[in-house]
Amino acid sequence: MEKDIFCKINDGEMSSNIIYEDDKLKVIMDKFPVSPGHMLIIPKCHITDALDMDDETFARLNGIIKKMIKKCYEVLKADGVEVVQNNGICQEIKHYHVHIIPKYKEKNNLTNEEIYVKLTNNEE
């Protein structure tokens, strides 16, 4: 079976801009952001559906979602944040992932690179 893009990223076969990482989960910049600062949270081991994730990792994931929403407001000055996670036939890439999409009242013209620098310079 052909490896999906997130497994390739996790195995170091494809590059990514990493915002956060622990032993189970990783937050990366989406290469094709729908809005500046679009991030993805992915598990390091391959699972597809939310129901395949163990409860402990799921709880940790929720904490990370909250942290990233905070970053969107405080670092990127977003006016709102959309969180999307698809399962089953709704999924385009069959590797579990959560979209964190900051939204702005006024157009934000920051590039991916500028946003990456901002997000990684503000580590607590």
- 4 contacts Zn ion (rule: CB under 5 A): yes
| Distance (Å, whole) CA 44 – CA 85 | 16
E-assigned strands of 25-97? 25-29, 39-43, 80-84
Binding residue for Zn ion, selected from 31, 46, 77, 103, defined by CB under 5 A: 46
User: Per the residue annotation, which of 46, 95, 97, 99 is the catalytic one?
Assistant: 97
- 95 contacts Zn ion (rule: CB under 5 A): yes
- 82 contacts Zn ion (rule: CB under 5 A): no
97 is catalytic: yes
Closest C-alpha to 107, from 87, 78, 64: 78
CB 100 within 8 A of CB 39: yes
Smallest distance from Zn ion to CB 10, Å? 7
Smallest distance from Zn ion to CB 108, Å? 31
Closest C-alpha to 119, from 11, 46, 5, 33: 33
For residues 48 and 120, which CB has a smaller minimum distance to Zn ion in the complex? 48
Report, as residue numbers or ranges, the catalytic residues. Answer: 97
Contact positions toward Zn ion, by CB under 5 A? 4, 6-7, 46, 95
